[in-house]
Amino acid sequence: MTDPRESELLASVPTGLLINGEWRQATGGRTVAVNDPATGDVIHEIADATVDDGVAAMDAAAEAFPSWAATPARERAEILRRAFDLLQERKEDVALLMTLEMGKPLAEARGEVAYGGEFLRWFSEVTAHTQGRYGANPEGTGRMIVSHHPVGPCYLITPWNFPLAMATRKIAPALAAGCTVVIKPATLTPLTTLFFAQILQDAGVPAGVVNVVTTTDTGPVSERIISDPRLRKLSFTGSTPVGVKLLQQAAPGVLRTSMELGGNAPFVVFEDADLDKAVEGAMLAKFRNIGQACTAANRFLVQRGIVEDFTNRVTERVRAMKVGRGTEEGVQIGPLIDDRAVDKAKTLVGDAVERGATVTTGGAPVDGPGTFFEPTVVADVQPGSDILREEIFGPVLAIVPFDDEDDAVRLANDTEYGLVSYVFTESFARGQRMIDRLETGMMGLNVGVVSNAAAPFGGWKQSGLGREGGDEGIHEYLQTKYTLTANP
């Protein structure tokens, strides 16, 4: 039996597609179910868009673009700021909705509302300050004007693991820049985006500026939108294989793209680290979002002299973690998103053990309803184990010993990914060297979480292209024009 507060909240979520400022059902009336991964129960039924619906959303975004692009930056900023305020007013609802459809503990869902909301506030501040430049050319023969212009209608595709923040991290800079959007949230967790889209409507976003398409026909709907000559930008967050496919689809139209893809973050602990800080950082970097984050520490590289102490300390902490539905008081580990995720964690642990690793706690799926996996520590993971190569995307902490700094750098960089790294050392000089030597777009030095709306989030190597957040974030949605004028 569902809790009355949960039922009431779910009943308030729009179930349609948002196209040109109106909520409407999918062509032909198709719908798709949304589940609670903690119970396996169907909690909602939403519209399942066809290719025609995708085209209608694209029509709306294209039609709304000229007037939104011409709206003064201050006005756009004020709408974003109102959306930020409304999100704060409804933060408990948004947090609960995320816990219901995605499974993360409520305290973490509240944290995501705070983090995700900051993109609205940050880009409302950035937009009026984003200016071009004007000056004489070096020869003194003319004046150069460099101006920035919104790229046009954008297609945004988001994953299931951060249902709010992945949407705000794209929508806020796009709207701040003067672009219109069609957003396609993950089919597993669409409710937060639908609810947030209503907040944007309430904040005064004009019709057609934000359109939402939820669909199980992801491939065909996306391909049609991406090949539309009116589309000017594709921004994707998700796995690297899907990102590669989308880059191929974007190539014929030389479409601008931003790609926030997978990660395989090293978490390096040197003997000169403060071990209390390192253990604290490890718990955050590994178990936030039940391990289902692109920034999740995937490989714990620990210097040999402290590896036993580190392993014992994290094992003790992990053994004490509370597993359960995210709505229960004190729960730290909710369910994984689906059966496939549980199977993957199980297979990766099995492979590591077969190759000589030791499970010090956890290691198995949890019996009963829902898709839970025990919080796990795997020590002494051997080179060549799949767990060191693939994204675990689950609550499994894998430890590998190393000998010296060169060894640590070699192991840390031994991956095609390059999103984020974490380094724990009390040596300032070593910390500086690691900034130079690790091949990642972001780094946490003695901290286990780096994300901030004011900072440029993004990866090197196969972790992606472009940046979200910071001053850089708005430029993903702007194009530059240089004009030479004759001297006056």
Distance between CA atoms of 434 and 9, rounded to whole angstroms?
A: 47
Smallest distance from the beta carbon of 140 to ligand NAD, in angstroms?
46
- Please count the other Cβ atoms lying within 10 Å of the Cβ belonging to residue 434: 22
Stretch that binds ligand NAD, among 54-62, 235-243, 314-322, 469-477 (CB under 6 A): 235-243
Q: Residue 120: in which H helix or E strand, if any? A: helix 106-126
Binding-site member from 88, 147, 187, 382 for ligand NAD (CB under 6 A) = 187
Stretch that binds ligand NAD, among 58-66, 199-207, 254-262, 356-364 (CB under 6 A): 254-262
Pick the catalytic residue from 101, 118, 260, 391.
Answer: 260
Angle formed by the axes of helices 91-102 and 191-202, nearest 10°: 160
Is residue 378 a contact partner of residue 349, using CB atoms and an 8 Å limit?
yes
DSSP state of 180: -
Is residue 361 a contact partner of residue 319, using CB atoms and an 8 Å limit?
yes
CA torsion angle 232 461 171 88 (round to 10) = 180
156 binds ligand NAD per the rule CB under 6 A: no
160 binds ligand NAD per the rule CB under 6 A: yes
Binding-site member from 224, 245, 313, 433 for ligand NAD (CB under 6 A) = 245
260 is catalytic: yes
| Residue 230 φ/ψ, nearest 5 degrees | -80, -15
- Give me the 194-233 binding string for ligand NAD, x by CB under 6 A, dash otherwise: ------------------------xx--x-----------
DSSP per residue, 52-116: HHHHHHHHHHHHHHHHHHHS-HHHHHHHHHHHHHHHHHTHHHHHHHHHHHH---HHHHHHHHHHH
- 375-414 residues near ligand NAD, rule: CB under 6 A: 391
- 2-61 residues near ligand NAD, rule: CB under 6 A: none
Which lies closer to ligand NAD via its Cβ, residue 218 or residue 446? 218
- Give me the 291-330 binding string for ligand NAD, x by CB under 6 A, dash otherwise: ---x------------------------------------
| Residues binding ligand NAD: number (CB under 6 A) | 27
Q: How far is CA 374 from CA 39, 78, 310, in A?
A: 16, 45, 20
157 binds ligand NAD per the rule CB under 6 A: yes
**Interacting residues toward ligand NAD by CB under 6 A:** 157-162, 184, 186-187, 218-219, 222, 237-239, 242, 245-246, 260-263, 294, 391, 419, 459, 464
What residues are annotated to the active site?
260
